Amino acid sequence: MDPDILVRGLTAGSLYALVAVSFNILYRPTNVFNFAQGELVMLGAMLFAAGKSTVGLPWPLALLATLAAVGTLGLAEEFIAVAPILARSKTGTGWVITTLAISLIVSNLVGWIWGPDPILVKPPAPLSLDTFEFAGLRLNSYVIALAALTIALVALIERAYRTLQGKAVLAVAEDREAALLRGINPARLSRWSFFLGGAFAGLTGILAAPILYASTSMGPALLLKGFAAAAVGSIGNNRGALIAGYLIGITEAVGASLLSPGYQEAVVFLVVLTVLLMRPQGLFGLATTRTV
Amino acid sequence: MLIVDSVDAGYGHVGVLEAVSLCVQPGSIVALVGRNGAGKSTLLRVISGLIAPTKGGIRFEGLDIAGKRPHTIVNCGLLHVAEGRRIFRNQTVADNLELGLYGLTISREEYRRRLEPVYSMFPILRERRDQLAGALSGGQQQMLAIAQAVIRGPKLLMLDEPSLGLAPILVDQVFDAIVSLRRSGVAILLVEQMVERALEISDYCYVLQSGRMTADGAARDMARSDALRTAYMGDHDSGSN
């Protein structure tokens, strides 16, 4: 078997899990899937790359600037593309088109500014992509750090849902009207979620940049597989997204090594389709019931 | 303290309420009765800001609240316990109570101080505080829904069918709670299908029929009035209830 399987599976899996979590952050208070999420990830990678190499910022500063910028774009998206739709109807689905429009605008703007060439981003100092052997498997320090950080971030997000604001988000997700009657303002939580979900997408892009290179083409692939991870792990369930992310990442790596890299996508979506046909609510979701 | 002045409201282009007026005095219990579909819940939803009135005015303690957003109205001290035990089932009882205080800046001590009277009103909630609200029985869920509103210290509490689907012993508990709330100075607007019991504890009563107020008067007098019988039985058909 291909000795790089673990590296590839863990790397891709971490990124899919992170994209899936960023989907969930936005989904919970709004019931909206942000189809621009993949492009926000891409924008994060590009801004960070530009900030570091073009402007010459030290990486912590480039990181903060990127998070703030992508978060703000998420917020702007909420104002332009989501809030007006939800104001008209809580169950309207116009956001499918408007968020897709934002996705195309971001993608085209970035392509226009930076061009199609991928930008190389090196991992920060002690970490590197140099592989070493460990128990017959090849690993590198960046991948280990990435997986550890992914797990830590999911734990952090889950903790955030234990705060009062987090509980309010869950309350809105469960019964928006009941939340309104308890003094919760869903519009405010929705804005915060878009800001934080945007920043989280930006962070995902920064983490992806050393592996995938920063380029306009990274958006769509991450969008699709991140969405698949969110669906398989049950929409809204972050622990589910984490496990499903790795499941998909490793399936992809195994598929690529057993068949050929050309078939890896087919293998992934075959698995995703099979899971969702058997459990439409995902692996970790309860089929929800509401008793009256 | 609450004055609803000839309000029209509905859903989309369907009008439900027509020129509805109502008044709640401080510290009183006002019953709002009428058949299913008369518009009682719609009226409560208009007052709490879930639906904006298309005409008319609503004032609460002198403040114009017509068309204001629900969280603004909640912060004025006007709380609405909706029909159907709308609690957050996937969260614990304690979390539900904490959410009742959302948006208020209060200390940990103050939180515990406010919890005390609520737990002594409904002791079962203290026992089951760490369980998911969805695991409570129907009656306990109703108590939690009321407790969620009470913990915020409302000036006026609107209760929509609090006894619906409860066992008789729990109905007694809920009615006792309403009476003791009034004793502590909370005004109550009560929508209730157990009309006789509602009138027993109420000071005043309004009868809503097909979206219009057809009668009102002291609860004592209304219990014997024809207006009430007409509202429930209709003039011709054998009707529901």
DSSP-based three-state secondary structure for A282? coil
pLDDT for A92-106, tens place per residue?
788 999 999 999 999
The per-residue pLDDT for B31 is: 96
pLDDT category of residue B241 using cuts at 50, 70 and 90? very low
pLDDT for A13-57, tens place per residue?
999 999 999 999 999 888 899 999 999 999 999 999 999 888 889
CB contacts < 8 A, A to B, total 65
Alpha-carbon distance A92 to nearest alpha carbon in chain B (angstroms): 15
The per-residue pLDDT for A289 is: 44
The fraction of chain B above a pLDDT of 70, given in percent, is: 96
B238 within some domain: no
ipTM above 0.85, yes or no: yes
Where residue B212 sits, what CATH number does that domain have?
Answer: 3.40.50.300
Q: Which residue has tokens 């439409």?
A: A280
Q: Is the pLDDT of residue B199 over 90?
A: yes
Q: Report chain B residues whose CB lies below 8 A from the CB of A175.
A: 86, 88
User: Which has the closest alpha carbon to B141: B130, B133, B149?
Assistant: B133
End-to-end CA distance of chain B: 32
Burial (CB count <10 Å: 0-12, 13-18, 19+), residue A218: buried
The torsion region of residue B137 among left (phi > 0), alpha (psi -120 to 50) and beta comes to beta
The mean pLDDT of chain B is 91
Q: What residue type is B208 in one-letter code?
A: L
The per-residue pLDDT for A287 is: 52
Q: How many domains does chain A have?
A: 1
Where residue A193 sits, what CATH number does that domain have?
Answer: 1.10.3470
The per-residue pLDDT for A1 is: 60
Torsional sign, CA A156, A158, A163, A169 = positive
Mean pLDDT of A174-198: 94
- In angstroms, rounded to a whole number, what is the distance separating the alpha carbons of residues A287 and B54? 39
Cross-chain Cβ contact B102/A180 below 8 Å: no
- In angstroms, rounded to a whole number, what is the distance separating the alpha carbons of residues A122 and A141? 13
User: Which of B 149-168 lie inside 8 A of A, CB atoms?
Assistant: 149, 152
Hey, of A91, A169, A172, A182, which one would you mutate to test binding to chain B, going by the most B CBs within 10 A of its CB?
A182
Span of A181-195, A207-221, A239-253, B25-39 with lowest mean pLDDT: A207-221
* Domain span including residue B38: 2-233
pLDDT for A159-180, tens place per residue?
999 999 999 999 999 999 999 9
Type and span of the H or E element at B191? strand B187-191
B241 within some domain: no
Rg (alpha carbons) of chain B, rounded to whole number: 18
B240 within some domain: no
Q: Is the pLDDT of residue A292 over 50?
A: no
Q: Report chain A residues whose CB lies below 8 A from the CB of B90.
A: 170, 174
Mean pLDDT of B10-32: 93
User: Which has the closest alpha carbon to A205: A62, A10, A75?
Assistant: A62
DSSP-based three-state secondary structure for A270? helix
A285 within some domain: no
Cross-chain Cβ contact B50/A181 below 8 Å: yes
Regarding predicted confidence, which is higher, A30 or B238? Answer: A30
Which of B69, B98, B149 faces A167 most closely, judged by CB atoms? Answer: B98
Count other C-beta atoms under 10 Å from residue B236's C-beta: 6
- In angstroms, rounded to a whole number, what is the distance separating the alpha carbons of residues B56 and A63? 54
User: Which has the closest alpha carbon to A115: A215, A244, A16?
Assistant: A215
Mean pLDDT of B3-13: 91
A283 within some domain: no
Q: What residue type is B7 in one-letter code?
A: V
Q: Is the pLDDT of residue B238 over 60?
A: no
Q: Is the pLDDT of residue A141 over 70?
A: yes
pLDDT for B206-223, tens place per residue?
999 999 999 899 988 887
A88 within some domain: yes
Provide φ and ψ at B151, rounded to 5°. -60, -25
pTM of the model: 0.87
* Domain span including residue A55: 5-278
B150 within some domain: yes
Q: Which residue has tokens 């979506």?
A: A269
The per-residue pLDDT for B239 is: 41
The per-residue pLDDT for A286 is: 60
Q: How many domains does chain B have?
A: 1
- In angstroms, rounded to a whole number, what is the distance separating the alpha carbons of residues A126 and B58? 65
Let me know: does A140 contact A132? Beta carbons within 8 Å.
Answer: yes
Strand B204-209 relative to strand B29-33, pairing: parallel
Structure tokens at A51: 């900030």
Q: Which residue has tokens 């019953």?
A: B31
Cross-chain Cβ contact A181/B74 below 8 Å: yes
Q: How many residues are recorded in chain B?
A: 241
Let me know: does B49 contact B65? Beta carbons within 8 Å.
Answer: yes
- In angstroms, rounded to a whole number, what is the distance separating the alpha carbons of residues B199 and B219? 5
Hey, of B50, B81, B86, which one would you mutate to test binding to chain A, going by the most A CBs within 10 A of its CB?
B86
